[in-house]
Structure 1
Amino acid sequence: MLRYVLNEDDVGAVRFALSPLCELGLSLRAIREPARFPLQLGWLRRTEEARERLDMRVLGALIDERMWTPDFLNPRPASPLTRLEDEFRALAATPADVFRSDLVAVHGHVPEVFAGSTSQALRRIIRALRQLWETCFEPYWPRMRAVLEADVVYRGRQIAQAGVASMLNGLSPRIAYDHGVVSVRLADPNDRTLAIDGNGLTLMPTMFTRRASAPVGDGPPMILYSARGQGALWEAEPVANPAAVAAVLGETRASLLAALGDPASSTELGVRFGVTASAVNQHLRVLRDAGLLVSTRYGRSVLYLRSELGSALLESRSG
């Protein structure tokens, strides 16, 4: 059990963040044991051929049989807009003692593949992770990030409507908040109680944690939890003729719903369907209000993505 003790100021400073590097590291769990991550089987199928070309000797040494990864792969993001290249630069600068102690905390020793020069080992790790990113993540990252950001938007709405305590208690069955203490039930049999002491608690949605995760060591306070909305992430491609749905929603809205298996902005959709931006926005608002779409801000744009309910509606009419 891990317990984070928060004072009143700490509760008000709880923040959310996303980390591409964390997603890369945690994805090794699904690669190692696909059966434990059924929601990511679509991603695993799509990337199966590409993963055959990865440096699995290096990547495999970054995870153990407990599905733990070293803390240097789980940095606390400095910004909600953290870029992978910035994280790679920070990873390359990991001190030798930290690098080795993080590996020992996971494996009990430094794996043979990382013996010798720390800088050389870090270069190999970054090279292997970059290949993983370019072949298996980059093509799907906009869609994955849209789901992660939609989760953050949802949690923010929870805080506004019901408060931080309600939000924390809704993150996962493994996470509980009571009287200033956030308790996280982990696979680690050791009990740890850590005071936040003004260091801020960071919450991070991820695609590759089934319940809840936290740093292996006593690093910056951080909890990783399973993002909402993953069920529709790897659904089949949009149906070609959603005629039955069109009879209910109208042809334009049905077409938009079918197209939004991948996230897109209203501007992009307007161009694709030959509809004015104002008309597209009106249709999207109706679909979102009906629970058929989710939306989230991505940079200067608002991205829309079909919800699980929207996917279920299309499937029920296309079978």
Structure 2
Amino acid sequence: MKARLTFSVNDLAETRFAVSPMWEVVTSFRALSAAVVPHPHRWWADQVRPRLAAAGLDRGWLADMIPPIGHLPDFLNPALATSSPGLSDELAAIEATDPEQVRRDLDQLAAEREGRLSPRLRSLHRTPRTCLPRIVAEIEAYWGLAIAPYWARIRSVLEADVFHRGRQVAEQGTAQALDELHHTVRWANGSLHLVQRHCAITRIETGAGLLLVPSVFAWPRVLTRSVVSEPPQLAYPARGIGTLWERRTHARMEALAAVIGRTRALILTELDAPASTTELAQRSGLSAAGVSQHLTALRAAGLTSTHRAGRSVLYARTGLADALLTAQT
């Protein structure tokens, strides 16, 4: 299927980029639900899948709504008022979704599934306002297990992509930037042409402008959202995905060790993958009590963050810690 989105001068003027936590939620869950996880994300998936299974999140609301292929409910990716909304902002918008929008999305899902919806989705269709808070609560739980521990490195990739595209717009124009988003996206004669689309998207069906959202988990596809009277959204694979999960080269570990101590520097290097206190003790050869004391100090200094995963707590490096460890001398 092909789609064609025409642009007026006003549409071009209202085209903008944004980073969206909810697009990462939706696309990451889709990646996990695939029979084979896309190659760039297997390291991440190997860590996350057991946590989701233990929490039952692999068989909840998101599992019912987000298929490996096919329609994604538009209400899960609300219109973005700013270029960098917080997850709480998007969740508030989801909870406030017009019930008729929810039902339209579910009707489209049902059409793709030969009229069948799960018991959960049938209840959502009947009473959206009752069910939406439960969906929001599940998204928060999923975020804490699957995205939050990795958000610093994910966000850095997304923000770097937006910076690159913004500079490209300034130097070469919006049309050129649109033409280079993805191999299935082509700019020609005042229109954006999208091929291999599951759903059609036209200017008649949407509002003005265009919202471009880089995503690390959308790879290798481009995804669209089209809602009457709202700017269409296009989620495209961000640049730099290939190196997202690579183990970092810690160019300044020795210099950092001289400041915060070798043990704490070692703990930070071991946090390439988020881990519990017990896991860090096993990786580093230190006692769990000793690791806990060091983590408390590192968190107070803004170098680690904590994320609850069921009964345990995962520790992750912050963006500040990444910068201190990987900056070139």
Instruction: State the TM-score, normalized to the length of structure 1.
Output: 0.71
Looking at structure 1, the residues matched to 107 and 207 of structure 2 have their Cα atoms a distance apart, in angstroms, of: 29
Q: Is the 8 A contact 1:54 1:132 kept in 2?
A: no
Code of the residue aligned with 2:73 in structure 1: it is: P
Instruction: Render the CA deviation track for 1:93-119: whole Å, top value 9, x for unaligned.
Output: 112211111122233255321323222
| Change in 2 beyond 3 A, CA 1:120/1:197 | closer
Q: Which runs of 5+ in 1 are unaligned?
A: 244-254, 263-271, 273-297, 311-319
Instruction: Render the CA deviation track for 1:193-215: whole Å, top value 9, x for unaligned.
Output: 32598722110001121221101
Aligned to 2:280: none
Instruction: Render the CA deviation track for 1:157-210: whole Å, top value 9, x for unaligned.
Output: 11122111111111000111112101112432x654325987221100011212
Looking at structure 2, the residues matched to 232 and 30 of structure 1 have their Cα atoms a distance apart, in angstroms, of: 17
Looking at structure 2, the residues matched to 178 and 305 of structure 1 have their Cα atoms a distance apart, in angstroms, of: 44
Aligned to 1:235: 246
Instruction: Render the CA deviation track for 1:283-317: whole Å, top value 9, x for unaligned.
Output: xxxxxxxxxxxxxxx9xx9x85999xx9xxxxxxx
Q: Which runs of 4+ in 1 moved over 3 A?
A: 195-198, 216-219, 237-243, 303-307
Q: How does 1:165-176 map to 2 (within 5 A)?
A: 165-176=175-186
| Change in 2 beyond 3 A, CA 1:44/1:214 | same
1:77 to 80, 87, 98: 80
Q: Is the 8 A contact 1:106 1:216 kept in 2?
A: no
Looking at structure 2, the residues matched to 152 and 142 of structure 1 have their Cα atoms a distance apart, in angstroms, of: 15
Aligned to 2:102: 99
Code of the residue aligned with 1:233 in structure 2: it is: L
| Change in 2 beyond 3 A, CA 1:149/1:240 | closer
Instruction: Report whether the alignment pairs 1:164 with 2:179.
Output: no
Looking at structure 2, the residues matched to 154 and 305 of structure 1 have their Cα atoms a distance apart, in angstroms, of: 23
Q: Which runs of 5+ in 2 are unaligned?
A: 255-264, 273-297, 299-318
Looking at structure 2, the residues matched to 11 and 103 of structure 1 have their Cα atoms a distance apart, in angstroms, of: 32
Aligned to 1:54: 56
Q: Secondary structure at the match of 1:167?
A: helix
Instruction: Render the CA deviation track for 1:224-255: whole Å, top value 9, x for unaligned.
Output: 10001011111125469999xxxxxxxxxxx9
| Change in 2 beyond 3 A, CA 1:165/1:71 | same
Q: CA deviation at 1:34?
A: 5.7
Looking at structure 2, the residues matched to 197 and 7 of structure 1 have their Cα atoms a distance apart, in angstroms, of: 13
Looking at structure 2, the residues matched to 186 and 60 of structure 1 have their Cα atoms a distance apart, in angstroms, of: 24
| Change in 2 beyond 3 A, CA 1:175/1:45 | same
Q: Percent identity?
A: 30
| Change in 2 beyond 3 A, CA 1:120/1:305 | farther
Aligned to 2:4: 3
- Over the residues paired in the alignment, what is the CA RMSD in angstroms? 3.2
